[in-house]
Every structure is written in structure tokens, then in C-alpha cells.
Amino acid sequence: MVVQHNMTAQNANRMLGITTGELAKSTEKLSSGYKVNRAADDASGLSISEKMRKQIRGLTQASANAQDGISMVQTAEGALTEVHSMLQRMNELSVKAANGTLSSADRGNVQDELDQLTSEINRVSTTTKFNELYLLSGTNQNGSATGGVLGVSLQVGADPLNSNKISVGITAMNSKTLFGSTALNVKDSTGALASSVISTIGDAISIVSKQRSALGAVQNRLEHTIKNLDNIVENTTSAESEIRDTDMASEMVVYSKNNILQQAGQSMLAQANQANQGVLSLLG
């Protein structure tokens, strides 16, 4: 029997240290909810997880971008709905003015309403705005000319690729675009001028219809884009969870095992330290 070295106690202490370390790791995993809390836990898993997180957060924002695009399109389309309504009223007035039963004074009253509706179309064109973008004016955010078309590029992907951009073009919807240089004048004694106005307004209605159809097509595309992005986010999140998240049931089993081993190790270490006490009886 020796007293300088208690190998049993040293072994018990070493094993207790290992068990305590494993118990600490289990505690961290259970309390954080992650089985990978640092690179040392799983170096390759952490790298893959971070790439997936980048993708998830980028795609989530891309989905929000697409939703903003839908809101912008709906704002423009709502304004064009009113423009359509005004044009239909103007067409109605023009047909009325073409009737030979009206007097010149009657046509003057019709002209007054046509002028007011034309002014309102111009006002809608210059004031319809979404987040500082004037949608129907045909100008950029800074007011610069764009050839009569506002171009908006929507980022709908996580990567900087042209294929992840959707372009939306909205033509200016003022009286110049809709009616050209033709004056909407129905003030004559015969109603002949009104016939020309009817044709001009019919063309304007077609222009607005074409723009509304284009916006509707873009909105449908964006809705499908959002569904696809959300699906990718869901599945990528599931894959990232498999790499990084703690399986609480399995980890609880590990925690319970290490907790028992720690208590047993502490008991064995205490007994091993008591073993050398027998030397005192030999010396007594």
C-alpha cells in the first residue's frame, strides 16, 4: 500500500472531469436549443448552417420585396381604375354631345365637365405615390424624365443575379399620353366635333386597359414568386434545423446519463480518497 500516489482516486477524478464536461455540454444544448453553439461542436455543420441561414434570411427579405411590389402595383392599378371610370364618363358625355337635339349651351355644359375630368386625370397622374415613387407621372423618384415610363426593378431572390429581378414598367397616364395633341372639344352647333372626341376617348380607354392588364399580369407573377420563395424558405429552414437544433428528447437522455455518472463519480472519488486512510491503522 502506498500513500504518495492514489491511482484509483486519480482515475476517478479524471473520469469525473470528463463526465462533468459532457454534462455541461448537455446543459448548454438543452438551455440554448442548439446542438451547435460554437464551431468546435461541429465545424462543417456550422459552416453549412450559416450558409443556409444567409439563404433563408435573404429569401425571406426577397419575399417581402415581392409583397412590396404587389402593394405598389395595386396602388397604381387602383388609381387607373378611377381613370378608367372617368374616361367612361367622358365617353358618355361625348356621345351625349354628338346628339343633334342638344343646343350649343348644352354642349358648353358638357365641355365644362369634360375639362374638369381631364384636369382630375392629370391630378391623379401627378399625385399617385407609393413610398416616394410617383407611379403614373412617367418620372423617376428624383423627378427626372424616363421617356414617359416609370421603371421599377424588384429584387426577388437572395443572390445578385439578373434572373432574380422583376421589372415593372408603368406608363404616364396624363392627358397628353391618353389624348395626344387632340383637344377634347365638343363645343359646336352640330355635334360633329363630339364624334372625333368619342374616337379619342376610345383610344384612351384602350391605353389604360393595356396598362391595367400588364399590372395584373405582374401581380399574378409576384404572387407565384412569393409562394415559391416561402416554400424554399420553409424547406431550407427545416434542413438547417436538422443541422443546428437540439433534439430535446435525445439530449435529455444524454443529460440524465451524465448526471447519474457525475454523482457516481463523486461518490467513487470520495471512497478512493478514503482508501489510504487504512495506513493510519498500521501506524497506530
Mean pLDDT in the chain? 88
pLDDT score of 241 more than 80: yes
**What is residue 86's predicted lDDT score, i.e. its pLDDT?**
98
Q: Which residues pair with 245 in a beta bridge?
A: 34
Contact 142, 127 (CB under 8 A): no
Contact 63, 223 (CB under 8 A): no
Spell out the residues 6+ positions from residue 16 whose beta carbon is closer than 8 angstroms to its own.
Answer: 262, 265, 266, 268, 269
Spell out the residues 6+ positions from residue 103 whose beta carbon is closer than 8 angstroms to its own.
Answer: none
Higher pLDDT, 283 or 71: 71
pLDDT score of 143 more than 60: no
Of 91, 86, 69, nearest to 170 (Cα)? 69
Average pLDDT over residues 253-269: 79
pLDDT score of 3 more than 60: no
- How do residues 194-208 score in pLDDT, each as one tens digit? 999 999 999 999 999
3-state SS, residue 173: coil
pLDDT score of 281 more than 80: no
Number of CB atoms found within 10 A of residue 246's CB: 20
pLDDT score of 282 more than 80: no
Average pLDDT over residues 157-167: 94
**What is residue 28's predicted lDDT score, i.e. its pLDDT?**
76
Of 128, 30, 110, nearest to 72 (Cα)? 128
pLDDT score of 278 more than 80: no
Strands (E), the chain: 129-130, 133-134, 149-155, 165-171
pLDDT score of 271 more than 90: no
Could you give the angle at which helices 7-32 and 248-275 cross, rounded to 10 degrees? 160
Considering the four listed CATH numbers 3.40.630.30, 1.10.340.30, 1.20.1330.10, 3.40.50.2000, the one that applies to the domain covering 46-243 is 1.20.1330.10
**What is residue 70's predicted lDDT score, i.e. its pLDDT?**
98
pLDDT score of 10 more than 70: yes
Q: Which residues pair with 171 in a beta bridge?
A: 149
3-state SS, residue 143: coil
Domain ranges within the chain, ordered by starting residue: 46-243, 247-277
pLDDT score of 75 more than 90: yes
Pairing state between β 129-130 and 165-171: unpaired
